[in-house]
Structure 1
Amino acid sequence: MVHLNRNATCGTNEPNQEDMPHVPMTPQDVLAALEQRFPDLSPELQRAARWVQQHSAALGLQSMRTSAREAGVAPTTMARLAQALGFQGFEALRQPFRQALAQAAVHDGSFSARARALQRGGSSVERLQEAQGANVQSWVHLNTTLALDEAADRILSGNQVLFLGLRASHGIAHHLHYTSQLLRDRVRLAHDGAGAMEDQVADLRPGDLLVAVSQAPYTRRTVELAQHAHDAGVPVLALTDHAWSPLARLARQTLLFTADSPSFFQSMTGAQALAEALVSRMVTRGGADVLDRLAQRQAQLQVQRTYWEKPLRKAPT
């Protein structure tokens, strides 16, 4: 259990312990507390907080000194950040993330086993609706507004952007690619024609961006391609279902969603909702360049008569 340190002292711009809410006990609680308290933190603590928001999996895996070095702050700053959130020290701050790593379920049974269990026990429509609703809302609870905006800026500012998603995640990557190419140029969707996907990733440079989408059970090839990009110094933006997924550990930044479902296959509603939210933030933050690009693309679509224009009629009964 995490205990509040009532004797800790706080410097200028750091919250007073007497004003502390309950100490966060889950990774989601910690991230929510960081966003809530971010404006009151000193600039140095804000730098540490940004690192925690973007590298929560690493926080549970490595020491305070290593985390501080990657965040570009002194080790004592990480300890002060923990105290500002109501924790006794850095190790107490790490504990929720370490527990989450230990409890992570990679995939609870094969598809066929889950299908057999579904046939035996059944699953009500209400349960499915509840799970889907929670997944749709998950991007709000698992990602800070700051993180979402930083991800949108990455896609807008990358020299070229490659979207990668295989198997069930391909549809999410395709949606991100299609909507993003309406807003900016030099965006591509990774495809496997003639085994060219590895070549597409190899063409990326450090000024580019790989946006990779995956959820449990994680497609091995997606992780391997993200590893190739990471090793080449190409920043990876991961959209995935756990901060401790193999994809998140390779990412410069991670955005999270949930994929829970009482059915035999994981739900895609959370990933789709996150993708739509991300594109919406791109429009909001893209300024005149995005508006000009969108106007050009819309004019092209009209010239090409892409969309059905005849009056809609009720189908005969």
Structure 2
Amino acid sequence: MPADTPVLPPRRYADLQLLALRARDGDVPELKLSAKGVALLEALLAQPEAVSLSSISQLAQRHGVHPSRLTRLSHALGLEGFKALQTLFRDDLSDSAFYSTRAQRLLEFGETPRAEGAELADDRMLWQQEMQNLSAAVEALDTAQLARAAVAIQRARRVHVVGLRASFGAAHYLAYYLDYLRDGVQLVSPQAGVSVEQALRLGEDDLVIGIAFRPESRMSVDYCRLAVEQGASLLALTNHSASQLAALTELTLLAPAEGAFFFNPMSSLFMLVELLLSRVARDMGHDAVLALRQREALISRLHVE
């Protein structure tokens, strides 16, 4: 069977994409979908994260349809029901083709922002969407959770910060400046020879700060899960409340990352890290100032540039 032949029922997210593209041109006669049904399928494909994380009622409300429409769409695709359709989206978000699939839907389903006659329209639209992520992070910020997180960081005997792949930059930033404020901070990095087994040394007086966006790094999740099993506390920084990290703890801070980006937008995550660092420093008061002065004095003495 040729690689570009539509498959019914679809077995992968890529099959859904191909079906939608061919159905748009009327090239799949065996697919009994109306124009509205095709439009609904395309709308779902343009927002795979929302489909994978929402209930059928939430998704129906988001698209202005009755939940039965989603069930009928699933049956028209040859699937047993909405859960089977949702599984295709969830599997895609967890596999190694996450970014290429996102790029394909941005290009083929028209989600990449366009505006006639505006040379910088795409860039400005992305900037606006990132600003919306920043605003959403602030509006949805649970200040009680932020306060609890700051207290947990100060009271912990040791703090391990783990965030790999795309999240490593934020993890390094957080660990670097936390080390200015307190002792016992360690950045978990395979490059530094730190492996999952290091979590075995953690106990109930320790804290792990796990950072992971979809697709979540398996090592990050495994490290956090093992730490929790050892009795350590976990602070999760993620872009969705249904993440694997969030499922491991009651202490979660969310950094929304929506929009037509080829890769994960990170501005809201770094802002969240800055808010967390500022809260810790503010709570520490003069102790934070003293810690910073000691570090600056050492840097000066060692002529570190």
| Same topology, TM > 0.5 | yes
Alpha-carbon shift at residue 117 of structure 1 (Å): 3.9
In 2, are the aligned partners of 1:206 and 1:233 still within 8 Å (CA)? yes
Matched, 1:262 2:250: no
Q: Do 2:134 and 2:268's aligned partners in 1 also have CA atoms closer than 8 Å?
A: yes
Code of the aligned partner of 2:178: S
Other-structure match for 1:310: none
Residue by residue over 1:32-91, the C-alpha shift from the partner in whole angstroms, topping out at 9 and shown as x without a partner, is xxxxxxxxxxxxxxxxxxxxxxxxxxxx9xxxxxxxxxxxxxxxxxxxxxxxxxxxxxxx
Return structure 1 stretches of 4+ with deviation > 4 angstroms. Answer: 103-106
Identify the residue that residue 188 of structure 1 maps to in structure 2. Answer: 186
Alpha-carbon distance, 1:254 to partner = 0.6
Q: Distance in 1 between matches of 2:300 and 2:192?
A: 33
Q: Find out whether 1:239 has 2:237 as its counterpart.
A: yes
* Aligned equivalents of 1:252, 1:158: Cα separation in 2: 17
User: Within the alignment, does 1:111 sit opposite 2:109 as a pair?
Assistant: no
Question: Are 1:128 and 2:126 an aligned pair?
Answer: yes
CA RMSD of aligned residues (A): 2.5
Distance 1:129 1:196 in 2: 36
Change over 3 Å in CA distance of 1:228–1:305 after alignment to 2: same
Distance 1:194 1:179 in 2: 18
Q: How does 1:169-208 map to 2 (within 5 A)?
A: 169-193=167-191, 196-208=194-206
Q: Distance in 2 between matches of 1:264 and 1:194?
A: 29
2:47 alignment partner in structure 1 = none
CA distance, structure 1, for counterparts of residue 183 and residue 145 of structure 2: 23
Residue 295 of structure 1: CA displacement? 0.9
- The alpha-carbon distance between structure 1 residues 110 and 192, as it changes in their structure 2 partners (threshold 3 A), is closer
CA distance in 1 between partners of 2:98 and 2:237 (Å): 23
Q: Is the 8 A contact 1:127 1:262 kept in 2?
A: no
Q: Which moved more, 1:189-198 or 1:170-179?
A: 189-198
- Counterparts of 1:141-160 in structure 2 under 5 Å? 141-160=139-158
Tell me what 1:215 maps to. Answer: 213
SS state at 1:182 partner: helix
- CA 1:261 to 1:285, structure 2 compared with 1: closer, same or farther past 3 Å? same
Q: Residues 8-39 of structure 1, C-alpha deviation per residue, up to 9 Å, x if partnerless? A: xxxxxxxxxxxxxxxxxxxxxxxxxxxxxxxx
Deviates more, 1:286-295 or 1:201-210: 286-295
Please give the TM-score of this superposition, normalised by the length of structure 2.
0.62
Could you tell me how far 1:306 is from its partner in structure 2? Answer: 2.9
Deviation at 1:261?
Answer: 3.0
1:189 partner SS: strand
Q: Which runs of 5+ in 2 are unaligned?
A: 1-54, 56-85, 114-121
Contact kept, 8 Å, 2:163 with 2:220, in 1: the verdict is yes
CA gap 1:236/1:130 in 2 versus in 1, 3 angstroms: same
Quote the offset at 1:217 in angstroms: 1.2
* Number of matched pairs: 207
Partners of 1:158 and 1:113 lie apart in 2 by 40
Gaps of 5+ in 1: 1-59, 61-102, 308-317
Letter in 1 for 2:231: G
Which residue of the partner structure matches residue 51 of structure 1? none
Give, in angstroms, the shift of residue 232 of structure 1.
1.3
- Secondary structure of 1:305 counterpart: coil
Matches of residues 277-296 of structure 1 in structure 2 within 5 Å? 277-296=275-294
In the alignment, the residues of structure 2 paired with residue 118 and residue 238 of structure 1 have an alpha-carbon distance, to the nearest angstrom, of 29
Alpha-carbon offset, residue 194 of structure 1: 7.5
Does the 8 A contact of 2:159 with 2:208 survive in 1? yes
The residue type paired with residue 215 of structure 2 is P
1:180/1:194 Cα in 2 relative to 1: closer, same or farther (>3 Å)? closer
Q: Which amino acid aligns with 1:306?
A: V
